[in-house]
Structure 1
Amino acid sequence: MPDDIDNEKRALRADLRERRQILSDAARDAAGAGVRAQLDALLESTGATSISCFLSTSTEPSTREFLNGALERGIRVLLPITRADGLLDWAVATADGDIAEGLFGLPEPVGEVLGPIAVNDVDLLIIPAAAIDHTGMRLGWGRGYFDKTLGSMERCPPVYAVIYDSEYVETVPADVHDQPVTGVVTPTQTFTFATQSL
């Protein structure tokens, strides 16, 4: 059975990855602007003063403009750094901070590294996803970093995943270790799952 789920996940990820790669620059720009507006409104409604957020890749809905705006408003932002052991370290984002290629070719901050428990102090987590289903279950990209992080937090604050509108789907294949999210942010909407408690 786990093999069936793994195969389903692989197939869905491949399809989603391909769809992302064929998006036009105009569609990407529009998605980035929409995501920024949605995330700005989410910050406002939650009153968060300390957040974690990922640095988007070229095919993800962009979080870069949102991050710059959050820093200008004095929000403390932690950015994830992948480790070989499957855990995430964190670094405090700065307006002029350097970005380098981390494990798996992902953009990651350069600077003082904080350990995995640093994220326990944030008010809101903004994480990447391949897809989110209507129950709040998240399909990640298969490395398990965010599932491990969410699963190990003593007191998990609200967690919102950023995806394109078409990636908010009826259902995603899930294993026991997969973690749900509090809500989803797309370029056109923010949706909070009423029954979700992490």
Structure 2
Amino acid sequence: MEGGQMIWPFRHTEPPKQPPIFNFEITCDNCDARHAVTDPDLDAQIQRACTQMDQKMNDLTRDFGIGNGLGTWGYDDDVGMLEFRFPDGGIVETPLSYIGSWFEPRQELLWAWANPHLDPARTEVASHCYDYGDANNHQVLMSQPVWCSLDDAWHLAKLAGTLAEVEGVYSAPIDENLRFFWAIRDPKWRVLQ
């Protein structure tokens, strides 16, 4: 099991009021160069998604303690669980569902749907986001990688979680350069024997 100290799971960020609201760059299919993406419809959807997901995350903190800064988190790819352990011995589990990873040195988000090292059954939330992007021509949701700040990576993860109607989104550093984003689906207290 990999994991670490539990942290506050999301950022409350105030998006700019003037376009461009979010700053994403993707690789152009025509020239293989990085280009900024402007998508006002997606910007508006991200804003709504962030508001909805922030409320869901507040509810998870209230109901389960996830993100309260106490305890530890861990994930087991073999078992397929993300868990949160608390000082009182309580453990909350949720099925493991990857959204993506953010690599700090290059400021890039890699969607889980394109990661060949992940079990496709554990990338459903990211795949749902890709399908939504494909159906609505939102290039940022179908591109790999997406160059963006950590705040904007959070915004995309919250959008993915909202589109898939999950209970929340959690992110934590895996090492000094890499951070994973997971969906929280169907969290439950583990019954101790």
TM over 0.5: no
Which structure shows the higher strand fraction?
A: 2
